[in-house]
């Protein structure tokens, strides 16, 4: 079956989104400890879990819309929404593998565990695949490059005050109790250095969004020739 036929296949679109939705749900439940018999509520404050919840909701909405759409329809329902969710969960993937894993000395055994791969690699790639495979190119707007930073900053506006007030203990980090979900946000440990770290990461992800926008626009123009 050709890619165009597969992209317009209701059975494939529904089946893929159902699988992705259930897999994302499993990854979230496993991460917060449901299957271990003890739920770690602090895990809900991790950006990883929250971005995976966004992915779960996206797959759920798209699965229902796919079922309700006629056969042979365009199953790329909202490219801009998909871009925002994809960008959000790609932040999870990039930060974990290129910041947390190397600098926090995460053990190899943990890196290769399925539950870790689920939330930090597989679900992000499933979201990316959905965006690239089902959605049309050339629909993104310049303002999307700014909008994609709104949720990360809402997240910071929640976790940083909680950390400053020492409301949530995330356990030991580098030998001391930490009230922040990630070491690079730990103001108690790093002080003012958190600001340039956050600004630098913001700049990188804004650049990533802009490059994505430019590539999307070029591909859209090419497809319209």
Going by pLDDT thresholds of 50, 70 and 90, the confidence category of residue 1 is low
Task: Give the DSSP letter string of 156-189.
Answer: HHHHHHHHHTT-----EETTEE--SSSGGG-HHH
Instruction: Report d(CA 137, CA 73) in Å as an integer.
Output: 17
Half-sphere exposure of 54 (CA within 13 A, CB side): 23
Instruction: Report d(CA 200, CA 194) in Å as an integer.
Output: 10
The predicted-structure confidence for 114-167, as pLDDT tens digits, reads as follows 999 999 999 999 999 999 999 989 999 999 999 999 999 999 999 999 999 999
Nearest to 152 by CA among 88, 105, 97, 101: 88
**Does residue 188 contact residue 163 with C-beta atoms inside 8 Å?**
yes
Residue 78 to residues 65, 86, 92, 210, Cα–Cα distance (Å): 11, 12, 22, 19
Q: What is the pLDDT of residue 197?
A: 94
Half-sphere exposure of 92 (CA within 13 A, CB side): 30
What is the mean pLDDT of the segment spanning 84-104? 89
Tokens of 118: 């689920």
pLDDT at 200 over 80: yes
**Partners of 176 in beta bridges:** 173
Q: What is the pLDDT of residue 7?
A: 84
What is the mean pLDDT of the segment spanning 47-67? 97
The predicted-structure confidence for 7-18, as pLDDT tens digits, reads as follows 889 999 999 999
Q: Which residues contact 101 (CB under 8 A, 6 or more apart)?
A: 111
Q: What is the pLDDT of residue 225?
A: 47
């Amino acid at each position: 079956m050709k890619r165009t036929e597969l992209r317009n296949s209701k059975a494939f679109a529904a089946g893929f989104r159902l699988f992705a939705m259930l897999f994302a749900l499993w990854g979230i439940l496993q991460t917060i400890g449901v299957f271990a018999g003890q739920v770690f509520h602090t895990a809900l404050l991790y950006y990883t879990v929250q971005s995976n919840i966004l992915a779960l909701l996206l797959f759920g909405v798209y699965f229902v819309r796919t079922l309700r759409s006629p056969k042979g329809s365009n199953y790329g329902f909202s490219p801009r929404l998909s871009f925002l969710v994809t960008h959000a969960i790609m932040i999870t993937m990039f930060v974990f593998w290129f910041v947390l894993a190397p600098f926090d000395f995460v053990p190899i055994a943990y890196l290769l565990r399925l539950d870790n791969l689920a939330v930090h690699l597989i679900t992000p790639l499933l979201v990316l695949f959905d965006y690239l495979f089902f959605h049309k190119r050339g629909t993104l707007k310049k303002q999307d490059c700014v909008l994609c930073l709104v949720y990360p900053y809402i997240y910071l506006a929640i976790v940083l005050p909680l950390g400053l007030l020492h409301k949530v203990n995330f356990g030991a980090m580098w030998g001391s109790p930490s009230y922040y979900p990630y070491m690079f946000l730990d103001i108690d440990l790093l002080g003012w250095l958190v600001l340039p770290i956050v600004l630098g990461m913001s700049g990188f992800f804004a650049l990533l969004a802009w490059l994505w926008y430019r590539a999307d626009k070029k591909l859209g123009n090419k497809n319209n020739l």
